[in-house]
Amino acid sequence: MHNVDWQLDEIVTQLRATRETWRERHGRSRERGCRELPSRSAIRAITDDLIGALFPMRLGPSDLRRESEDFYVGHTLDATLNALCHEVCLELKYIARQLGRDAGDTQARAVEVVQGFAAGLPELRRQLDADVMAAYHGDPAARSVDEVLLCYPGVHAVIHHRIANYFYQADLSLLARMIAEIAHSDTGIDIHPGATIGEGFFIDHGTGVVIGETAIIGNNVRLYQAVTLGAKRFPADERGHLEKGLPRHPVVEDDVVIYAGATILGRITIGKGSIIGGNVWLTRDVEPGSNVTQANLQSGPCP
């Protein structure tokens, strides 16, 4: 590359001009210093470590011995909660900057958020155990709970969701979204961190599943690949602005099974114990105990 001239000075100058145009449009021209935003790679590392601490003998280090589980869990949690606290601080400061507000004592608020998360870890583990059992019982091909925990993408996605949801509820939407997108990239399962999901939840195969922000899912629900729980329309206020946070995704009651490719849209309710057939397109309420199939198709399980 001896005689190559990439005209770098020119390109660098033009790229800066392009960035400045963007920043002016977004009112950021005078910001200085570092990016203060949560980092996706940091969050992946934190999430992996949390999962290791939750399931030390299955998803922790392969040379861990049961005799020293507690040492591993304690040491890992200390390092990870500190790292998490740092990311929370970054997002709190970011939110304050976005809102043009003083950030206040972000450190204290971050500690509070992370303490709440930490205190909930035992309950989180209990919930995840129930999800693993649901997967084990829901798939005839599952040979052991270990296979489920080690191999099932649906379980991987649900673990991430239950972590992400905590931070969504704490109004840390970037952090929550990053955790959700890590699972989305790994599994093809796209669960918005705002979705409310009950106990014993299982997604089989999973690729293409989309679950929206205001969806509510009861206990013991089972989904297959490519199921959408989406919005039917986006309500706008009188000025034509999309209204945020309005309930717009389905409510799925306890013990419902939804087969592959079903598309369920809008703030409708799928009653307790219903079975929704594969590829069904559904935009109205369904009575408890229904068995909905595509009009011109045979009903039945599809995986």
> How far apart (Å, rounded) are the C-alpha atoms in residues 209 and 180?
13
Residue of 233, 187, 194, 237 whose CA lies nearest to 212: 194
Binding flag, residue 223, a copy of itself (CB under 8 A): no
Number of residues that bind a copy of itself (CB under 8 A): 129
With both helix axes pointing from N to C terminus, report the angle between 106-119 and 153-169 in degrees, rounded to the nearest 10.
140
Report if residue 93 touches a copy of itself, rule: CB under 8 A: no
How far apart, in Å, are the Cα atoms of 240 and each of 190, 213, 235, 236? 28, 21, 9, 5
Among 27, 104, 122, 289, binds a copy of itself (CB under 8 A): 122
Decide: is 9 part of the binding site for a copy of itself (CB under 8 A). Answer: yes
Which of 125, 287, 289, 291 is in the footprint of a copy of itself by CB under 8 A?
125
Among 169, 173, 196, 269, the residue binding a copy of itself under the rule CB under 8 A is 173
Residue 122, C-beta contacts closer than 8 angstroms, at least 6 positions apart: none
- One DSSP character per residue, 239-261 reads TSPBPSS---S-EE-TT-EE-TT
Instruction: State yes or no: residue 159 binds a copy of itself (CB under 8 A).
Output: no
CA geometry: angle at 227 spanning 302 and 251, to 5°?
Answer: 115
* Contact yes or no for 298/262 (Cβ under 8 A): no
115 is a contact residue toward a copy of itself (CB under 8 A):
yes
Q: Candidates 24, 48, 70, 105: give the one binding a copy of itself (CB under 8 A).
A: 70
Q: Is 99 in the site for a copy of itself (CB under 8 A)?
A: no
Give me the least distance between CB of 135 and a copy of itself, in Å please.
13
Considering only residues 129 through 158, tell me which ones interact with a copy of itself, judged by CB under 8 A. 129, 140-141, 143-147, 150-153
Q: Please list the residues that pair with 257 across neighbouring strands.
A: 222, 275
Candidate ranges 123-131, 159-167, 195-203, 267-275; the one touching a copy of itself (CB under 8 A): 123-131
Q: Which of residues 263-292 bind a copy of itself (CB under 8 A)?
A: 263, 265-266, 278-279, 281, 283
Q: Please tell me whether residue 69 binds a copy of itself under the rule CB under 8 A.
A: yes
Indicate whether 258 belongs to the interface with a copy of itself (CB under 8 A): no
Question: Min. distance of Cβ 39 from a copy of itself in angstroms?
Answer: 5
If one asks whether residue 11 binds a copy of itself (CB under 8 A), the answer comes out as: yes
CA atoms lying within 13 Å on the CB side of residue 193: 22
